[in-house]
Structure 1
Amino acid sequence: MARYIFITGGVVSSLGKGLASAALGALLQARGYSVRLRKLDPYLNVDPGTMSPFEHGEVFVTDDGAETDLDLGHYERFTGVSARKTDSISSGRIYSNVLEKERRGDYLGKTIQVVPHVTNEIKDFLKIGADECDFMLCEIGGTVGDIEGLPFFEAIRQFIHERPRGECILMHLTLLPYLAASGELKTKPTQHSVKELQSIGLAPDVLVCRSEHPIPEREREKIALFCNVRKEAVIPAYDLKTIYEAPLAYHREGLDQAVLDAFGIAPAPRPNLTRWEDVMDRLTNAEGMVRVAIVGKYTQLEDAYKSIAEALTHGGMANRVRVKAEWIDAEIFEREDPAPYLEGFHAILVPGGFGERGTEGKIRAAQFAREKQIPYLGICLGMQMAVIEASRNLAGINDAGSEEFDHEAGGKRFTPVVYHLKEWVQGNHRVERKTTDDKGGTMRLGAYTASLAEGSKVAQVYGATAIEERHRHRYEVDIRYREQLQACGLSFSGMSPDGRLPEIVEYPDHPWFIGVQFHPELKSKPFEPHPLFADFVRAAVDVSRLV
């Protein structure tokens, strides 16, 4: 059975609980343990799938089709353990499950309450997969004291007391603010945060203290004394140049040892940190730099494209170069010539998105990349815009567009080269969807297989003709236009196994122009860069050497 580590946060939000959880998972792996990480979010949305990227950052998709918090992306990138639906839960999902059971009569007419019905549902969720790993790391979203998080904290309190002693610990992240006027780090917010935890029956075993300044020994001793933890369990967490330094930095400060000590595991296995030393060597000893333009619609918030930014970094590591990603609002190109903005870049990436806003700008970016022979990677909507660009400017379908845009406008303005998929095959069964279905249930989600054409560029990149990638989209490129577009040079080099759904397009006579319907960025890792991103950056390096 797994040992449980609960990770909570206090004082302020956005302290980096997800990153600390991921780094701790990586350190436990380095000591030979198996881990699984999961996220408990107190918000009332069933999942983040219908949230605006400006509200919540990107939506991370798992192989089994769950739309989850972006922290699960950190978990996967640091541990390589593929997340599942059961690794992400929200208050909305918990309450939805409870209410469904109440409607079915599962509670035999009893009055439904937060305690015990909601807390029992949370505890049942925590137990899933407990026999599959050595350590289960559970991060609780939000900040201690938030009213919506109370059911989760109460469930954890009960869970810890119901388990045998020594099987659960609690790690708490707090902030040590620095007052410049007095030149002091202040420990009082951390003390109050721990007091808040204690008031609901929880006590931290390990304290991780975020600070912009070194934490003096006397301050660590003070924190240990007033927060009732061992001094060795007060772990400094300083700002880092890159998130991938976190495992090594936390190891230097003794986080993994403090956790194993809290469990009473002695002697602790020695860690093998070779993987992370190599990652840092590739990051810090880059042999060049390439500039990549990301032409998107959520560019004001980089977390909206978090996995893409990280996958580009991984591609740079594979080529021992630094990737300078620069964000450009696609709407600018609807008013202005893209050339002055895009000249000087070594590659162009157009990511996914929903809705018509900014799409004409993305189409112009794809046209610029095609005509100027600049490496282009189109992801999801970025692939669809490349197909529409080819339809308009090469195949003579002047009004080519997407059914998505007509649906928004309430009329038919375009020839729908991209259409709303009503049914498809997933595994051994047929899935049917309607545009009137709930927003959270109308997409092709999760891992699907694609067949790649022999001799195509993508087959060379992957080194295979059968791949499996993760999807998140409602609309598909219409296969009816395949012959017309291929006659103009746009090859449909990747298809669904039944040959109905285009998965990848490319220009064989272009140095590097590939559009994919799926999201390859979701499977990239620093120690295992995704082949598409690695080769995309390689193509950018080739361009940089010609300039």
Structure 2
Amino acid sequence: MARYIFITGGVVSSLGKGLASAALGALLQARGYTVRLRKLDPYLNVDPGTMSPFEHGEVFVTDDGAETDLDLGHYERFTGVSARRTDSVSSGRIYSNVLEKERRGEYLGKTIQVIPHVTNEIKDFLSIDEDGVDFMLCEIGGTVGDIEGLPFFEAIRQFAQDRPRGQCIFMHLTLLPYLAASGELKTKPTQHSVKELRSIGIAPDVLVCRSEQPIPEKERAKIALFCNVRPDAVIPAYDLKSIYEAPMAYHRAGLDRAVLDAFQISPAPRPDLTRWEDVMNRLTHAEGEVRVAIVGKYTKLEDAYKSISEALTHGGMANRVRVRPDWIDAEALETPEGVHQLDGYHGIIVPGGFGERGTEGMITAAKYAREKKVPYLGICLGMQMAVVEAARNLAGIADAGSEEFDHEAGHTRFTPVVYHLKEWIQGNHKVERKLSDDKGGTMRLGAYTAVLKPDSKVSAVYGGATEIEDRHRHRYEVDTRYREPLEAAGMQFSGMSPDGRLPEVVELSDHPWFIGVQSHPELKSKPFDPAPLFADFVRAAKDLERMV
């Protein structure tokens, strides 16, 4: 039976609970334990799938097709454990499950209440697959005191009470603000946050205190006294230059030791931090720099492309170079002068997105990369716009476009070389979709196989493999009816679905490095196991940088 670590936050949001959880998971792995990480979000959306990237950031997709919070990306990148649908839940999903059970009569006519019905549903979620790991780390989204989070706090209180003593602990993240005028770190917000937590029946075993300044021993002792935790369980958390410093930084601060002490695990296995020492060595001993332009629709919020940003960092580590990404709004390229913003870059990435806004700028970026021989990686919509560009300017289909844009306009304006995906094979059954379907959870989601041409560039990137598997999140697809004229013009369909119906990879035969993929390879990239496409893309950018 797994031991549970519940991670909560107080004072303010965005303290880094997800990063702390991921780093702790990595440290427990370094000591030989198996871990799984979960996220419980209080918002009422069923999942983040239909939420604005500007508001929520990236939607992280699991192998089994769940649309989840971006913190699950942190969990995977730090532990290498593939997330599942059962590792993410929201208030919306919990309430939806409860109401569906009520409609089916499963509560036998009882009055449905937050306690016990909603809290029981949360507890049932927490216990899924608990026998498969040594530690289950469960992060509660939001901040203690938020009204929407109360059912989750009550559920984890009950859960810990139901379990044998010593099987659950609570780790609480708070902020120690520094007042420059008085030159003081203030502990009172942390004291009040812990008081709020204790008022609902939860006493933290470990406190992680975010601070911009060193925390004196006197202040740590004061926090321990007033918050009723051991002094060595007050863990400082300082700002870092890179998130990948977190495991080593938290280890030096004693987080993993404090957690194991809270479980009374003694003596604890010695940690093997070789993996993270190598990550830090690669990160801090870069031999040069490459500049990469990311031409997207949601560039005003970097978290909208979090996995791409991290995958580029991993690609840099693999090549021992520092990658400097610049975020360029695709709409800014839709003027004759705008294209010059791409001058001087060693690589161009056009990521995924939805809707027509900014797509002409993406097409401009693909054309620039093709003509200037700059390494180009198109992901999802970025692949589709590369195909549209090739159709217009190489294959002679002057009005090439996407059915997605015609659907938005309400009438036909383009020859749709990209069409709405109406059916595909998932496992052993056929999935069918209509434009009128609900938006949430209706795309082609999760891991799918692509069959690669043996002599293609993309096959070489994957070490000669003829089959790869990556995660997808899209509802539009390149139409194979235009394959023949596109291939005759130099754009090869080098990866297809196993049934040969859906294009998965395209590449330009006369270009040093120009690849578009319908999948999202960035979602599986890790600092100790970079996504091959990103590692090779950075290598190509590095080669161009040396030639310039």
- TM normalised by structure 2 equals 0.99
- The alignment partner of 2:131 has SS state of coil
Hey, what's the Cα distance between the residues in 2 that align with 1:354 and 1:132?
Answer: 38
Shift of 1:337: 3.2
State the partner residue of 1:342.
Answer: 342
Q: How does 1:379-394 map to 2 (within 5 A)?
A: 379-394=379-394
| Correspondence for 2:332 | 332
Determine the structure 1 residue equivalent to 2:322: 322
| Distance in 1 (alpha carbons) for counterparts of 2:186 and 2:338 | 50
Q: CA shift at 1:339, angstroms?
A: 3.8
Report how far residue 129 of structure 1 moved: 1.0
The whole-number CA distance in structure 1 between the counterparts of 2:340 and 2:394 is 24
- In structure 2, distance between residues paired with 1:143 and 1:442: 31
State the secondary structure of the residue aligned to 2:132: coil
Letter in 2 for 1:503: E
Task: State the alpha-carbon separation in 1 of the partners of residues 404 and 39 from structure 2.
Answer: 32
After superposition, residues 294-309 of structure 1 pair within 5 angstroms as 294-309=294-309
Question: Could you tell me how far apart the structure 2 residues matched to 1:205 and 1:455 are?
Answer: 57
Helix, strand or coil: the match of 1:440? coil
Q: Is the 8 A contact 2:333 2:339 kept in 1?
A: no
Amino acid in structure 2 at the alignment position of 1:82: S
Name the residue aligned to 2:453.
453
Q: Determine the C-alpha separation between the residues in 2 that align with 1:280 and 1:338.
A: 38
Q: Which residue matches 1:528?
A: 529
Write the deviation string for residues 333-374 of structure 1: whole angstroms up to 9, x where unpaired.
112334421110000000000000000000000000000000
Alpha-carbon distance in 2 for matches of 1:21, 1:434:
39
CA shift at 1:327, angstroms?
A: 0.5
Q: Distance in 1 between matches of 2:338 and 2:398?
A: 20
CA contact (8 A) 2:446 2:473 kept: yes
Q: Which residue of 2 aligns with 1:374?
A: 374
Give me the whole-angstrom Cα distance separating, in 2, the residues matched to 1:9 and 1:265: 25
Matched to 2:382, the amino acid is: G
Match in the other structure for 2:500: 499
Find the residue that maps to 1:454 and give its secondary structure: coil
- The answer to whether residue 506 in structure 2 is matched with residue 510 in structure 1 is no
CA distance in 2, matches of 1:20, 1:337: 44
Paired amino acid for 2:491: L
Q: Secondary structure of 2:130's partner?
A: coil
Q: 1:3: which partner in 2?
A: 3
Amino acid in structure 2 at the alignment position of 1:211: S
Q: Which amino acid aligns with 1:378?
A: G
Q: Distance in 2 between matches of 1:219 and 1:153?
A: 28
- Residue 537 of structure 1 corresponds to 538
| Aligned counterpart, 2:14 | 14
Contact 1:495 1:503 (8 Å CA) reproduced: yes
- Say if 2:49 and 2:441, in contact at 8 Å, map to a contact too: no
Q: Summarize deviations over 1:211-232 as a string: whole Å, max 9, x none.
A: 0000000000000000000000
**In the alignment, does 2:293 pair up with 1:289?**
no
| Counterpart amino acid of residue 514 in structure 1 | I
The answer for the alignment partner of 1:477 in structure 2 is: 478
1:448-473 Cα offsets, whole Å, 9 max, x none, are 00100011000000121101100000
Comparing 334-343 and 479-488, the one that deviates more: 334-343
State the percentage of identical aligned residues: 84
The residue correspondences of 1:389-468 to structure 2 (distance < 5 A) are: 389-463=389-463, 464-468=465-469
Deviation at 1:140, TM superposition (A): 0.2
Distance in 2 of aligned mates of 1:54 and 1:330: 15
**What SS does the aligned partner of 1:131 have?**
helix
SS for the counterpart of 2:401 is strand
Letter in 1 for 2:19: L
Structure 1: how far apart are the matches of 2:345 and 2:491? 23
SS in 2 for 1:122: helix
| 1:235 paired residue number | 235
Paired position in structure 2 for 1:355:
355
CA distance in 2, matches of 1:153, 1:441: 28
Counterpart amino acid of residue 490 in structure 1? M
Q: Structure 1 residue 133: deviation in Å?
A: 0.3
Pairing of 1:41-60 with structure 2 (within 5 A): 41-60=41-60
Q: Give the residue type in structure 2 aligned to 1:192.
A: H
In structure 1, what is the Cα distance between the partners aligned to 2:182 and 2:253? 26
What is the deviation of 1:174?
A: 0.0
* Length-normalised TM-score, structure 1: 1.00
Question: Equivalents in 2 of 1:450, 1:246: separation in Å?
Answer: 35
Question: Letter of the aligned partner of 1:96 in structure 2?
Answer: S
Q: Is the 8 A contact 1:338 1:364 kept in 2?
A: no
Give the superposition deviation at 1:207: 0.1
> Residues 224-247 of structure 1, C-alpha deviation per residue, up to 9 Å, x if partnerless?
000000000000000001000000
Matches within 5 A, 1:46-125: 46-125=46-125
For structure 1, the 5+ residue unaligned runs are none
Aligned length: 547
> Structure 1, residues 188-211: CA drift from partner, whole Å, max 9, x if none?
000000000000000000000000
Deviations, residues 373-398 of structure 1 (Å, cap 9, x unaligned):
00000000000000000000011111
Inter-partner Cα distance in structure 2 for 1:45 and 1:466:
36
Q: Secondary structure at the match of 1:181?
A: coil
Q: Confirm or deny: 8 A CA contact 1:15 1:173 kept in the other structure.
A: yes
Contact between 1:434 and 1:442, CA under 8 Å: does it hold in 2?
A: no
- Separation in structure 1 between the aligned mates of residue 300 and residue 525 of structure 2, nearest angstrom: 23
Cα distance in 2 for partners of 1:338, 1:480 equals: 33
Per-residue deviation, residues 272-317 of structure 1 (Å, max 9, x unmatched): 0010010010010000000000000111100000000000000000
Deviation per CA, 1:30-67, whole angstroms, max 9, x where unpaired? 00000000000000000000000001000000000000
SS of the aligned residue for 1:385 comes to helix
Counterparts of 1:133-282 in structure 2, within 5 Å, are: 133-282=133-282
Which ranges of structure 2 fall in alignment gaps of 5 or more residues? none
What secondary structure, in the 3-state scheme, does the structure 2 residue paired with 1:192 have? helix
Asked if structure 2 preserves the Cα contact closer than 8 Å seen for 1:338 and 1:368, the reply is no
Q: Say whether the 8 Å CA contact 1:435–1:442 is kept in structure 2.
A: no
Instruction: Please give the alpha-carbon distance, in whole angstroms, between the structure 2 residues aligned to 1:474 and 1:257.
Output: 47
Please tell me whether the aligned partners of residues 61 and 446 of structure 1 are also in contact (alpha carbons under 8 angstroms). Answer: yes
The runs of at least 4 consecutive aligned structure 1 residues that moved more than 3 Å come to: 336-339
Secondary structure of the 1:435 match is: coil
Secondary structure of 1:198's match? Answer: helix
Secondary structure of 1:287 counterpart: coil
* Contact 1:338–1:365, Cα closer than 8 Å, also in 2: no
CA distance in 2, matches of 1:33, 1:512: 41
Taking the aligned partners of 1:395 and 1:205, their CA distance within structure 2 comes to 65
**Distance in structure 2 (CA, Å) of the matches to 1:106 and 1:308:** 44
SS of residue paired to 1:209: strand
Between the aligned partners of 1:338 and 1:519, the Cα distance in structure 2 is: 27
What SS does the corresponding residue of 1:441 show, helix, strand or coil?
coil
1:411 corresponds to which letter in structure 2?
H
Aligned partners of 2:418 and 2:476 also within 8 Å: yes
Tell me how far apart the structure 2 counterparts of residues 92 and 336 of structure 1 sit (CA, whole Å). Answer: 46
